[in-house]
Amino acid sequence: MVGVKVIGNDAEFQAELSGAGSRLAVVKFTMSGCRPCVRIAPAFNMLSNKYPQVVFLEVDVHVCQATAAANNISATPTFQFFRNKVRVDQYQGADASGLEDKIKQHVENDPGSNEDSDIPKGYVCD
């Protein structure tokens, strides 16, 4: 999926995480009125197009209160990284380059991230 999927309720969040499977899922926790959230939104959208092998989700903490509570969200924007429905990392703040560095770190360390290439899964190119 290319682009950011806006999550409308807690059940939808669980379904999207399940659907991502072993692919990296980056979840932006946001809320209306959050200026840093608004500032980083264009960069988050750009990253979703730059990394099509990654699932990008956006969760409003007021709309999905149970999801926000279950993930211990205390500030926005908070970006959490999931693989196989398990949180593997977190990044807080509105620094787009720092967020991209974190995404790159997870994509580069994933031997299965070459799904769209001709290289068999699990092989490493030098």
54 in Cβ contact with 7 (< 8 Å) = no
Cβ neighbours, 10 Å, residue 94 = 19
Of residues 17, 20, 24, 34, which has the active-site annotation?
Answer: 34
Nearest-angstrom CA–CA distance, 86 and 82: 5
Q: Are 67 and 16 in contact (CB under 8 A)?
A: no
Active-site residue identified among 7, 24, 37, 68: 37
CB atoms within 10 A of CB 17: 21
Place of tokens 């979840």: 27
Is 125 one of the annotated active-site residues of the chain?
A: no
* Active-site residue list: 34, 37
